[in-house]
Structure 1
Amino acid sequence: MNSPFRLPEASTHAVTVDHIFYLLLLLSGATVVLVFGLILLFAVRYRRGSSAKRGPMPEILSREFEIGWTVATLLTFAFLFWWASSADLGSLAAPPSALEIHVVAKQWMWKTQHPSGAREINALHVPLDQPVHLLMSSQDVIHSFFVPAFRIKKDVVPGRDTDIWFQATKSGTFPLLCAEYCGTNHSMMRGKIVVMRQDDYAGWLVQQPEGDDLAHEGAKLFVSQGCSGCHAASSNVHAPRLAGLYGRAVQLADGRTVSADDAYIRDSILQPKRDVVAGYEPVMPSFKGLLDDGEIQSLTAYIRSLSKEQPDD
């Protein structure tokens, strides 16, 4: 039942967060009642002129009380730390079957794109009871993707790809806010998350204007920006091949080994001389200032789409 004093629990993560919050609220309230109750008790019992016995407590009682109180507090803290940490760590990695949606933040709007290529501004339609994985970037300043009903909040930082996932458990329309001050019209950077039944979502998706998905856009950029001249399989230039690259371990010239994830691909585009692949010369130019965050997302999506292909070597 909805209450004006309580946000709806509209995602699987919201239930866990609320349980932790209620337990902390209960423990905090019990502590306040205990402390102020003892203050009031002692103030009355040992008031000036009362006949209450005054003197030191028996040493054995005092020692056992201190040890018991300390151990109980330590165990309570350890339990809370374990519960909250496990909940946070469990929400980091999106399920492999999650629906992947790209989000770009800019002053002062949210731009979203579905795998089919359907685009939205300040809105995001998602299916009910299906994990949704958001890959986010900012075109200008720091923003923060905040959906109170889902209990999720993630900073979106320029020059860095971030991600978050959720699984909606209630259909309806829920507010999307920016929780990081991002300029003059920060308060106007609002949107909505529309949770639909899965068959309704499929019907909505079909009705949207057709458009190339990010991988297809990235493939076009790959050619127009001259990347295919070095990285295509038919190229005569000695450059790393991208088929099957995404997600693999990459050996670098300085002896380090890194994972070819979104951050690695972004750094390779903007700072190609920082992580040079072993066996290759640092001849790739930087595309910093030539590509915006949306174009880098498209190129990354294209390289990710090649992950199922077998490498040439």
Structure 2
Amino acid sequence: MRSQAASYASQVDVAFWFIFIVSTILLTGITLFMIFCLYRYSKKRNPTPATFDGSIFLETLWTVIPTILVMIMFYLGYEGFLSMRQAPADSMIIKVYARMWNWRFEYPDGRKTDKLVVPLNKPVKLLMYSEDVIHSFYIPAFRNKEDVVPGRENFLWFKAIEEGTFDVLCAEYCGDLHSYMSTTIEVLKQEEYEAWEKGIVLEIKGEALKGKEIFHGKGACMACHSVDGSKILGPTLKGLWNSKTIVIQDGKEREVVANEDYIKEAILNPSKAITKGYENIPMNAYKGILDEKDIKALVEYIKYLGDNPK
């Protein structure tokens, strides 16, 4: 079982384990009793069947006991539901935008990231919006999951009680690359979070910042390209700027330098020169979708990623 990294995670686990243990005991007991009955009251051992008029005691017993068990399950579930749906008034508000196939997070000061960063022991309320289809925001270590529905604002809150980095997944099938729709949540001590807040503003600005917003927004580049060196569908953009790259063009291999002209051409006409190893992974052409200013901003962001992956 994953760590209980949110304040109400233990409540979820109590309800889960109670239901699991009760169900296991009942399944095992009923199965063994059925096997015993098949043997004990078989036709071979009892050629003349016995007749029973019923038992008020047994009928009362198997009505009262299941009722008590179900009511306990209901209580545990309802108590947990109330905890999850009543966000504290002083919760920090972060907006979550879901689209195929990535998550974006917008903080109160307008900053946007593709990774969720929150302070330790502080309630956080996520206001969630979908830009296309139904998604489901899921943090296994926090024991929470909430659907993100187009045209409707939904919310989820939590208070992280354990430092660390935890997975964030999409738990609702949302298309071909559903399994790639993941990111992380990083929980920092208050002083570390405040330093992160100040530092991220200084790290990237100007055209590079605009390029990052396009990368995570209308360009939807992060669905296929990582910025930290990890492999998704397409090649990572970390360290791409001015690097030497082998491409397949007109059926032949050639070495190119990933400069501004190459990146622009790769965005507008990606099938012209395909990075070696990715020949079977088609990329959409962005001609008519991104204008010259958008492409210029993306180039600046890729330049920035050469030394500062974020």
Q: Distance in 1 between matches of 2:47 and 2:23?
A: 31
**Does the CA-based 8 Å contact 1:9-1:15 persist in structure 2?**
yes
TM-score by length of 2: 0.61
The amino acid of 1:67's aligned partner reads: T
Summarize the alignment of residues 130-279 of structure 1 with structure 2, pairs less than 5 Å apart.
130-209=122-201
Q: State which of 77, 82, 95 in structure 1 corresponds to 2:75.
A: 82
What residue is the counterpart of 2:295 in the other structure? none
Deviation of 1:36 (Å) = 1.2
Deviation of 1:198 (Å) = 1.6
The amino acid of 2:65's aligned partner reads: A
What residue is the counterpart of 1:32 in the other structure? 27
Which deviates more from structure 2 when the two are superposed, residues 41-50 or residues 109-118?
41-50
What residue is the counterpart of 1:218 in the other structure? none
Deviation of 1:168 (Å) = 1.1
SS in 2 for 1:43: helix
Summarize the alignment of residues 17-166 of structure 1 with structure 2, pairs less than 5 Å apart.
17-50=12-45, 55-57=50-52, 59=54, 62-121=55-114, 123-166=115-158
CA separation of 1:52 and 1:172: change in aligned 2, threshold 3 A? farther
Q: What's the RMSD between the two structures over aligned residues?
A: 2.1
Structure 2: gaps spanning 5 or more residues: 205-310
User: Are residues 1:8 and 2:14 paired?
Assistant: no
What does the per-residue CA deviation read over 1:183-206, in whole Å, with 9 as the maximum and x for residues that have no partner? 232222110000111221111111
Structure 1: gaps spanning 5 or more residues: 1-5, 212-313
**Does the CA-based 8 Å contact 1:118-1:205 persist in structure 2?**
no
Deviation of 1:169 (Å) = 1.6
Deviation of 1:51 (Å) = 7.1
CA separation of 1:99 and 1:52: change in aligned 2, threshold 3 A? farther
Q: Distance in 2 between matches of 1:30 and 1:141?
A: 41
Summarize the alignment of residues 273-292 of structure 1 with structure 2, pairs less than 5 Å apart.
none
Tell me the matched-pair count.
Answer: 203
What does the per-residue CA deviation read over 1:175-225, in whole Å, with 9 as the maximum and x for residues that have no partner? 1111122223222211000011122111111111179xxxxxxxxxxxxxx
